C-alpha cells in the first residue's frame, strides 16, 4: 500500500505502480502530500465506467501537474528542465492495464495524448479500451483487512498510526462513492457537490526515501 485517499464517503487504500509509471506516481504523491487534492469533487460520473476527480477548480477544466512549479533548470535531474503543466503518458504495453475494477488512471485534456496534469479517474469496471490510451498508475485495494508482509517498505509504526484508515475496505467505499454520485446532469456532471476528496495520508514514497528517482 502506498497511501490512503480520504473521501467524503470513507477511505480508499491505494497501491501505486511506481516502477511502471514513475512520473505519474511522483506527481500523484507530491500533489497528495501538498494537500492539492483536498476539496476536489468527484465531478464526473459515467455509470459503470468511471468516476473522475482531481480538479481543484471543480469545473473539469483546471489542474496542473507538480512539474508546473519546477524552477528553470530542474532540480537535481528529478524534474524536466522547464516548468510544464502536463507530462507524457507512460506504462503502455506493460502489466499496468485496465483489467479490473478500481484502477486509477490519469485523465487527458480532452482527447489529446500526453496531457496528464492532476485530474484522474477510477475505473468502475475492467476497461480494456482504455489500455494504451490512458496512464494506469495504481489501484484501489479491495480487501477488508490490510495485513503487512515482511516485504512491505513501510514501517509497522506508520501502520499503527493510520490503522483505522488501512482497515477499511476499498470496495465498500468505492460503492458508496458511486451511490453518492449517482445523480448526474446531461453532461454526466455529478449533482451532489459534497462527494469529494478530503485529504490523503502518504504511507510510502520511494522518491522521498531515495529508493527511486526520475
Q: Are 20 and 29 in contact (CB under 8 A)?
A: no
pLDDT digits (tens, 9 = 90+) for 170-183: 999 999 999 999 99
For 96-153, how does the pLDDT look when each residue is reduced to its tens digit (9 = 90+)? Answer: 789 999 999 999 998 899 999 999 999 999 999 999 999 999 999 976 444 444 344 4
Structural domain including 187 reads 2-204
What DSSP character marks residue 128?
Answer: G
Report the number of distinct structural domains present in the chain.
Answer: 1
* Domain contains 150: yes
Q: Is residue 38 in a domain? A: yes
- What's the CATH number where 178 sits? 2.40.100.10
pTM of the model: 0.85
Task: Give the chain's count of helices (H) and strands (E).
Answer: 4, 8
Whether 212 maps to a domain, the answer reads no
In a domain, 213, yes or no: no
Inside any domain, residue 141 = yes
User: Left (φ > 0), alpha (ψ -120 to 50) or beta: where does 176 sit?
Assistant: alpha
Residue 211 in any domain: the answer is no
pLDDT band at 157 (very low <50, low <70, confident <90, very high): very low
Residue-wise pLDDT for 6-28, tens only, equals 999 999 999 999 999 999 999 99
42-59 mean pLDDT: 98
Q: Would you state the torsion angle of the CA atoms of residues 70, 133, 192, 101, taken in this order, to the nearest 10 degrees?
A: -110
Residue 158 within a domain: yes
Instruction: Answer yes or no: is 209 within a domain.
Output: no
Separation of alpha carbons 191 and 208, rounded Å: 38
Amino acid at each position: 500500500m502506498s497511501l490512503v485517499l480520504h473521501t467524503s464517503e470513507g477511505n480508499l487504500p491505494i497501491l501505486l505502480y511506481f516502477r511502471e509509471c514513475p512520473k505519474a506516481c511522483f506527481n500523484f504523491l507530491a500533489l497528495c502530500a501538498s494537500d492539492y487534492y483536498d476539496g476536489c469533487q468527484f465531478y464526473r460520473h459515467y455509470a459503470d465506467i468511471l468516476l473522475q476527480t482531481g480538479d481543484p477548480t471543480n469545473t473539469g477544466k483546471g489542474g496542473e501537474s507538480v512539474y508546473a512549479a519546477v524552477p528553470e533548470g530542474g532540480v537535481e535531474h528529478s524534474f524536466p528542465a522547464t516548468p510544464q503543466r502536463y507530462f507524457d503518458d507512460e506504462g503502455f504495453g506493460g502489466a499496468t492495464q485496465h483489467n479490473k475494477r478500481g484502477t486509477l488512471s490519469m485523465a487527458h485534456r480532452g482527447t489529446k495524448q500526453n496531457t496528464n496534469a492532476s485530474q484522474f479517474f477510477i475505473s468502475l469496471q475492467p476497461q480494456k479500451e482504455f489500455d494504451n490510451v490512458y496512464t494506469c498508475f495504481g489501484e484501489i485495494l479491495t480487501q477488508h483487512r490490510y495485513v503487512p508482509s515482511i516485504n512491505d517498505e513501510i514501517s509497522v509504526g506508520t501502520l499503527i498510526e493510520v490503522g483505522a484508515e488501512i482497515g477499511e475496505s476499498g470496495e465498500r467505499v468505492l460503492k458508496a462513492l458511486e451511490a453518492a454520485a449517482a445523480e448526474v446532469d446531461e453532461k454526466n456532471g455529478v449533482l451532489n457537490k459534497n462527494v469529494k476528496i478530503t485529504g490523503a495520508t502518504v504511507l510510502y514514497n520511494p522518491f522521498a526515501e531515495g529508493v527511486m528517482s526520475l
